[in-house]
Amino acid sequence: MKRAFCIAAVVAAALAIPVVAAAAGTDPTARASFVGPIQVNGAKATLKVRYRCSSGQNLWVSAKETARGYSATKLMKEGSSRTAAAWWDSHRNRVRCDGKFHATTFTIDKVEKGKKGALVDGSAWVQFCVTYGHTEADTVLTLSKSGWVRVNA
């Protein structure tokens, strides 16, 4: 019985390692931090991010918010953009992955299909993801950072 339990624990641990690595990204030196609040200016907003990555060519940055701008754990869940009052994002910003730190201001808006609502004063759940690859099948996550960021509307 003890041996079966130990084997099951080892197998579970081995399966969990790739999941944790995928969530953190495949670039072990990659880092990101949000610098200051999201600044809303009409139909677009900006967010400054300090980041470092050694590989990556595509960036996705997203902000989701409740109607009153309150932090809500429901926005941290997969698929929560459907229930968010506001969801702004962009895949159009350029990212530079050369192993050095960069402090860059990125734009988010409602230009891309499916975006909605107005960002208001409060807090938004932000996701910042750097990937490489050209199709969904060959896309690799190299950097992922999520967190609550103040919104100045």
pTM for the whole structure: 0.82
Task: Give residue 138's pLDDT band: very low, low, confident or very high (50, 70, 90).
Answer: confident
Distance CA 85, CA 75 (A): 10
pLDDT for 24: 54
Mean pLDDT of the chain: 86
pLDDT for 1: 41
Instruction: Check if the beta carbon of residue 27 is closer than 8 Å to that of residue 55.
Output: yes
- The reply to whether CATH 1.10.287 applies to domain 27-152 is no
Q: Which residue has the higher pLDDT, 8 or 58?
A: 58
pLDDT for 22: 39
Summarize pLDDT for 47-88 with one digit per residue, the tens: 999 999 999 999 999 999 999 999 999 999 999 999 999 999
Q: Which residue has the higher pLDDT, 4 or 63?
A: 63
55 token code pair: 């590989």
In 3D, which of 45, 19, 50, 20 has the Cα closest to residue 34? 50
pLDDT for 130: 97
Domain ranges of the chain: 27-152
